[in-house]
Structure 1
């Protein structure tokens, strides 16, 4: 069983309450989840859990309104699909800059306009725009926020987790939760508190970043190139500013070394041939880039997500995206367990599904940097051969684009399962004029059938039932994160009910509103 709910073992008939989304859910204060960190990963988790009626508290050491000076600036297609399933993608698209091509190594253009997605592009926008949208959603759903509060210790027992924290003005606080999620970045206090290692190494030091205005015409797409000892990214935000990321092999200095615009311009000139008349930097930063991954994303009742679980080079803009996809995978599983609709064993699938993806992202982002910085004759030859191969072989180029954008990842499936099981389900049209990712809003599973079916009885809080707009004959049960939990080319009512019981738990007894079972 991979990425799906198992038998819950629930047989009671107690009825519960209605959550903030209008969907009836069941959760108790003892099922509270504590999320540490209010970056995009933590905010998406908090919004999903609160929307499912699960009590959730977000702990953040920064004051409210003080955003990280973040390096993230790209949303890829798979992340946009996940945000669409939460009703947020259209708003972000309206303030971001869509780019349907990337230029790598000076001559390889990756065309995203043929992606099998509603979002045939990447979206360039500052991370704070993503955070604003996700925070607003979490607050509206009822998530509790505790700013200026820093985790100082953590202990677990059979029933939950006790967290020690220092609140405003150093006031000691003790918080209790059923589960804790560390979404608190590379230097995660949660990861350190549970003793999980973070093996890896610093790959490049003294990476420089800035958001600048340009006096000259710039490329209209995200550009990545290297020349000699210099390496640079350049991407337009669409608001008159461009994000520039650069590195010079000979400028290996500590993160705290002063940085000025002249250094950024020099690196850009060396890597891209000119600096485009950069001026009016709204912020600049220097950092070092690590490649690290925790060997486990779970330690008992504690989970890691985003940069707390994995960090890698900024090449390809995959960092924020991978964290948001971690959150989308974990949130519905925590909600199902907290509301009593799933066996806690479901939570083990988070590691099985997301750890391999994190490892793949480390490889791909690191590979881009190493190829860009190739200097020896044999590495230059390898880069040229790979560039020529990807430029000439369509399937290889499409596979690379799928991995970069996240839509190419799939999760392992049980032996003998239908080939769709574990695969990402695209945003298909549904009968009646709707589409799948609209039906996923609300955190429910979606059962897509060829013919009308009454399978939703007693599970209205957890399941939407729809029909294909096309003549497709396959029956597919889509998880809340948009992956296929189960599929069959021909399924009768008994087979569908068995699948629903296995993945969603039992239907509510007669006399209880859907979702009231606990």
Structure 2
């Protein structure tokens, strides 16, 4: 084999996945058809949950702002603005971080851990046998000619027009684009900030300063026909659309780059087919809303990486990998639902005004704000792990464990710092020596940590749990109160069979 895993696509999803695979001990090659990164800003930040995932791996300082990135407490759902902090730990994500910077951070992290990134390499073919064989074989066009590469698994992180998805024969059902919208990084202009967007009679616009002399704009004119994926767009077109909506003439400026997007909504029918898997835009495309696309891809990678690494290194069986589709497909379906709904509200023009008014009224209720903030921040995700033994009704089970301060034998730490190594964590909050004994057969796969939660609301957070088993992606797989009932079942399911002896 040339590698355990070949990842196609060096965007945020593929690079995050490469780093996760290396943390789990898998050999990985990343292929990207572009000779160099585009350097374009595109996505300008990420959701609260994606930010947590970066924090779980100790990556936030690499963004150059320490462990605290700029976030906004006020977000929106379909342009209806409200305070996200009504939900514990929620905010409207990290703002003002160009996608090019996110990619650079993740590329450095992945290569620091031994991932190989090969650029100018385009996947041309996929050999038969990936459905029932013991490997995949891909034909790759490289700067030095065409060659064959073999790996245990192939993961397509190559965007909405994914070559891997097409070669694997995976259906991509959904709805066609109905309109075109523009985005650009414009120069030489002094624009009024419109951070969360402004709906006007002829469409919607957003504007935010990126750096000295450069603004990101998004222009969504009503009535703009859908465009072919092969079309191009010029700054002149963007300027005309901006003036049509705002009445402002920006034609005297310029642009570092311009592009367009649509409201097409599609989801792969299968996230795993044989030895081929999909993640990020290759698995789901939708209207951009609140940075959810990039963030969902990062979460796909965080869910898949540790599982795939455990399988290819022999620590776990194939059944663990099957949970990738069963967990992330429903999340993707809900993502498409919320982005379509937001598009109807934000871009529906006068016809959508009654709906906007109703949503505005509803956001005066704390329960509604919490619900909508959970959807957009991705903090409401709860995986179904209830077939494990233990307290299936515990409110933490299947949910992510937030960042909580802890005091242990080695001093002060927190729940995210414990996940930096990419292993599971059995957090013992009551000094139960039996837990360490019960988990001894999973040493090296699960770290047992005895600590005291120092947060003032610890009783509310842990809801009676004296121990929690946290997966490498930060989601709780088991809770216990005073014993280890069901712990061995949960450990075996998520971390493989116990070591003999």
Q: TM-score, normalising length from structure 2?
A: 0.86
Q: Report how far residue 413 of structure 1 moved.
A: 2.8
Aligned runs of 1:378-397 on 2, under 5 Å? 379-390=352-363, 392-397=364-369
Distance 1:459 1:243, change over 3 A: same
Once the two structures are TM-superposed, the CA of residue 109 in structure 1 deviates from its matched residue by: 2.1
> Does residue 140 in structure 1 map to residue 112 in structure 2?
yes
For 2:398, which of 410, 422, 438 is the aligned residue? 422
Contact kept, 8 Å, 2:236 with 2:251, in 1: the verdict is no
Kindly indicate whether the alpha-carbon contact (under 8 Å) linking 1:33 and 1:178 is maintained by their aligned counterparts in 2: yes
Aligned match of 1:84 in 45, 55, 61?
Answer: 55
- How far does residue 267 in structure 1 lie from its aligned partner after superposition? 3.6
- 1:110-148 per-residue CA deviation (whole Å, 9 max, x = no partner) reads 223444228674323111111101111111111122222
Taking only aligned residues, the RMSD between alpha carbons, in angstroms, comes to 2.8
State the Cα distance separating 1:53 from its structure 2 match. Answer: 1.7
Q: Find the counterpart in structure 2 of residue 102 from structure 1.
A: 75
Rounded Cα–Cα distance in structure 2 between residues aligned with 1:105 and 1:163: 42
Structure 2: how far apart are the matches of 1:357 and 1:278? Answer: 44
Q: Which residue of 2 aligns with 1:400?
A: 372
Q: Which residue pairs with 1:242 in the alignment?
A: 215
The aligned length equals: 475
| Residue in structure 1 matching 2:496, options 495, 498, 505 | 505
CA contact (8 A) 1:410 1:423 kept: yes
**Match of residue 265 from structure 2:** 291
Match of 2:198 in 1: 225
Secondary structure of 1:323 counterpart: helix
Q: Given that residues 112 and 121 in structure 1 are in contact (C-alpha distance below 8 angstroms), is that contact kept between their aligned partners in structure 2?
A: no
Deviation of 1:232 (Å)? 2.0
Asked if the contact 1:227–1:270 (Cα under 8 Å) also holds between the matched residues in 2, the reply is: no
1: CA distance, partners of 2:320 / 2:236:
53
Please state if 1:488 is matched with 2:488.
no
**Among 355, 365, 372, the residue aligned to 2:329:** 355
Structure number with higher relative contact order (C-alpha < 8 Å, ≥ 6 residues apart): 1
Change over 3 Å in CA distance of 1:135–1:257 after alignment to 2? closer
Question: 2:191–2:215: 8 Å Cα contact kept in structure 1?
Answer: no
CA separation of 1:70 and 1:376: change in aligned 2, threshold 3 A? same
Structure 2 stretches lacking a partner, 5+ long: none
Runs of 5+ consecutive residues of structure 1 not aligned to the other structure: 1-28, 511-518
Contact 2:470 2:478 in 1 (8 A): yes
| Cα distance in 2 between the residues matched to 1:374 and 1:352 | 33
Q: Separation in 1 of the partners of 2:55 and 2:238?
A: 36
Q: 2-side partners of 1:449 and 1:33: how far apart?
A: 34
Residue aligning to 1:162: 137
Structure 1 residue 328 corresponds to structure 2 residue 307? no
The structure-2 alpha-carbon separation of the partners of 1:129 and 1:374, relative to structure 1 and needing over 3 Å to count, comes to same
**Aligned match for 2:103, one of 125, 128, 131:** 131
Question: Does the CA contact (< 8 Å) of 1:166 and 1:172 recur in 2?
Answer: yes
For the structure 1 residues 430 and 506, does the alpha-carbon distance in structure 2 shift closer, same or farther, using more than 3 Å as the test? Answer: farther
How far residue 224 of structure 1 moved from its aligned partner, in angstroms, is: 2.1
- Pick one of 454, 457, 469 that aligns with 2:453: 469
TM-score, normalising length from structure 1?
0.84
Name the SS for the 1:430 alignment partner.
strand
Which deviations, in whole Å up to 9, do the C-alpha atoms of 1:214-270 show, x marking residues without a partner? 754633x73223222312233343665332111223343646666444543454455
Offset, 1:91: 2.7
Q: Alignment partner of 2:120: what SS?
A: coil
Deviation at 1:287, TM superposition (A): 3.6
What pairs with 1:132-281 in structure 2 (closer than 5 Å)? 132-154=104-126, 155=128, 156=130, 157-169=132-144, 171-213=145-187, 215-216=189-190, 218-219=192-193, 222-237=195-210, 241-252=214-225, 254=227, 259-268=233-242, 271=245, 279-281=253-255
